[in-house]
Amino acid sequence: MIRVGQKVPNFEMEVYNPATNSFGKISLEDILKERRWLVLFFYPADFTFVCPTELADLAEHYEELKKMGVEVVSVSTDTKYVHLAWRNTEKLLEKVMFPMGADPTGKISRMFGVYDEETGLALRGTFIINPDGVLVGSEVNFYNVGRNAEELVRKMKANIYLMSHPDEACPAKWQEGQKTLKPSEELVGRVYEALSK
């Protein structure tokens, strides 16, 4: 299982791409060659209940993420054929244009530690991989709690900022343009003062 801070080994998976209404493949290697970020958005299954609400929410922010240099791939253990049928049946998914990854063997879900051996499904895992191939963000929820794509966008902005400002840190609720922290001996016990200036 890959942990935050580790390099992610290359992987490949089949996808259904709603933007072109076609099947294809994606690989981490190809995304990194283009110096893009990758968000893997695992969810339990197509034709379920919380899942379409999450993908619809993510779809609302997809263009913004793409402009930031981020590719988003939703992933479940369903096949690409089921993805196509679900996307074209469920009205909540009308705006979904990001690739929908198929992991029917659970290989990639296991790699990221979200595969549930008892059900054969993936838990709700969100993973952020930077353009160097390092896993910099990981969030896993159980089946019954949906995620918030606005928070993912916030985290992406913070990660992108920090990649070019490695000596800084983003505090809780940090938004683009707000103050960051510069860890040092002077900052110890004086975070309040640093943020209040």
CATH fold of the domain at 12-147: Glutaredoxin (3.40.30)
Q: What is the arithmetic mean of pLDDT over 110-125?
A: 98
Averaged confidence pLDDT in the chain: 97
What is the predicted pLDDT for the residue at 197?
81
d(CA 6, CA 189): 30
Q: What is the arithmetic mean of pLDDT over 27-42?
A: 98
The secondary structure of 160-188 as a DSSP string is: HHHHH-TT-B--TT--TTS--B--STTTT
- Give percent above pLDDT 70 in the chain: 100
> What are the domain boundaries of the chain?
12-147
CA dihedral 18, 25, 4, 180 (to 10 degrees): -50
The secondary structure of 75-106 as a DSSP string is: EESS-HHHHHHHHTT-GGGTT--S-EEE-TT-
Tell me: the pLDDT tens digits for 53-72?
A: 999 999 999 999 999 999 99
Tell me: the pLDDT tens digits for 41-54?
A: 999 999 999 999 99
| Crossing angle (nearest 10°) for helices 50-67 and 149-164 | 30
Whether 177 has a pLDDT exceeding 90, the answer reads yes
Distances (CA, A) of 130 to 7, 18, 70, 77, 160: 9, 24, 9, 24, 8
What is the predicted pLDDT for the residue at 116?
97
C-alpha closest to that of 120 among 16, 51, 44, 49: 44
Catalytic residue among 8, 32, 39, 51: 51
d(CA 148, CA 133): 24
Whether 77 has a pLDDT exceeding 90, the answer reads yes
51 catalytic per annotation: yes
Q: How confident is the model at residue 186 (pLDDT cuts 50, 70, 90)?
A: confident
